[in-house]
Amino acid sequence: MTEVVQASPLLEIHNLTVRFGGLVAINALDLQIVEGEIFALVGPNGAGKTTVLNSISGLIKPAVGTIQFAGQELLSLPAHRRASLGIGRTFQQLQLFSSMTVLDNLLTAQHTQLQTGILSGVLPFWRSKREDASARQRALETLVQLGLDSYAQRIAGSLPFGIQKLIGVARALVLHPRLVLLDEPAAGVPPQEVQELATRLRFWQKELSTTLLLIEHNMRLVQAVADRVCVLDYGSKLAEGEPRTVLSNPAVLTAYLGSGASKKTQQEQAAEGISHVEG
Ligand SMILES: Nc1ncnc2c1ncn2[C@@H]1O[C@H](COP(=O)(O)OP(=O)(O)OP(=O)(O)O)[C@@H](O)[C@H]1O
Ligand SMILES: [Mg+2]
């Protein structure tokens, strides 16, 4: 595990509350993420994990609360401004262009992350050749840096699903964000490939000096990579701390599995990370 130096947080969420009609999806949540750490957000289906990510990246508007990134308040900024401040993300559903090459997927990722609202429709025609060349260069360099360059000219949809998930993460990393938000990178990845995913995430985080906020149901991945973990349940924080301690907390096991299951089965299931529906 990386030794996390206690510094002022890179991301500071205070009193975040999100409502969808009568449903309180996030309830007065406080969360702090320190630069350089891998922070995992876990919890049962519907706990509010993706809603936290959507609040940070700007896809939804919280009712109450503040989110500061490197000291700057985010909630008043549109999504593309947040991306240009250095926040990248992946989505729960894989969002690759399956008929495009891997390289082109990394090219489009740069355009969509930096598109400028009203001008986004016309800007592609105005972009200079030099800009295109530098975006291409950046995409290629990122693939080399992440050890994925052998896939550059492959059609994304033709690759094994585990590799497609890695390309999805590479898209989020192409602009070298200071913070990257990953929504279930292990979902759908075969169990025998999860360890490789863990190794790569650790390596990439170091290689690019980025901070990771990771939503994950796969507890093997969480235990392998996370410096700290927060458990959400019904939009509130149930537990937070070092993964080994938090994930063996009886209240956490109960939240995941309900109180009906036997203790042995609960622990076995939690260790396998199978007590959920993957997104
Ligand atoms: N756009 C929306 N409109 C209405 N309700 C929503 C919306 N997005 C999420 N919700 C609801 O908010 C709650 C939290 O959803 P969220 O997607 O954040 O959960 P999650 O923890 O990511 O779950 P999962 O593990 O299944 O992905 C759920 O009850 C969900 O149905
Ligand atoms: Mg989700």
CA of 230 to the centre of ligand 2 (A): 15
Contact 24, 235 (CB under 8 A): yes
Domains, the chain, in order of start with CATH, read: 7-86+182-279 (3.40.50.300), 95-176 (no CATH)
- Output the residue whose Cα is nearest ligand 1's atom 18: 48
- Range name among 72-86, 104-118, 150-164 with the lowest pLDDT average: 104-118
For a ligand 1 pocket test, name from 29, 51, 184 the mutation site with the most ligand atoms within 8 angstroms of its C-beta. Answer: 51
Contact 224, 193 (CB under 8 A): no
Please state the atom number of ligand 1 nearest to the C-alpha of residue 60. 1
Pairwise CA distance, residues 276 & 20, whole Å: 23
Quick one: which ligand is closest to 182's CA? Answer: 2
User: Among 47, 1, 43, 109, which Cα is nearest to 234's?
Assistant: 47
Please tell me which residue, 275 or 11, carries the higher pLDDT value. Answer: 11
Please state the atom number of ligand 1 nearest to the C-alpha of residue 92. 27
Residue 158: helix, strand or coil by DSSP? Answer: helix
For a ligand 1 pocket test, name from 17, 20, 218 the mutation site with the most ligand atoms within 8 angstroms of its C-beta. Answer: 20
Please state the atom number of ligand 1 nearest to the C-alpha of residue 277. 26
Q: Show the beta-strand stretches assigned E in the chain.
A: 11-20, 23-33, 38-42, 64-69, 72-73, 87-89, 179-183, 211-215, 228-233, 236-241
Q: Show the tokens assigned to 100.
A: 């495009």
CA of 59 to the centre of ligand 1 (A): 13
pTM value is 0.87
Residue 107: helix, strand or coil by DSSP? Answer: helix
Q: pLDDT by residue (tens digit) across 66-110? A: 999 999 999 999 999 999 999 999 988 888 999 999 999 999 888
Q: pLDDT by residue (tens digit) across 184-204? A: 999 999 999 999 999 999 999
CA of 48 to the centre of ligand 2 (A): 7
Ligand 1, pocket residues at CB < 6 Å: 20, 23, 25, 43, 45-51, 92, 279
For position 55, what pLDDT does the model report? Answer: 98
Q: pLDDT by residue (tens digit) across 242-275? A: 999 999 888 888 887 664 434 434 444 444 443 4
- Output the residue whose Cα is nearest ligand 1's atom 14: 48
For position 275, what pLDDT does the model report? Answer: 43
CA of 169 to the centre of ligand 1 (A): 22
CA dihedral over 256, 259, 263, 265, signed as positive or negative: negative
Residue type, 219: M
* Torsion (CA) 224, 52, 163, 225 in degrees, nearest 10: -10
Contact 10, 3 (CB under 8 A): no
- Output the residue whose Cα is nearest ligand 1's atom 28: 46
For position 71, what pLDDT does the model report? Answer: 93
For position 130, what pLDDT does the model report? Answer: 67
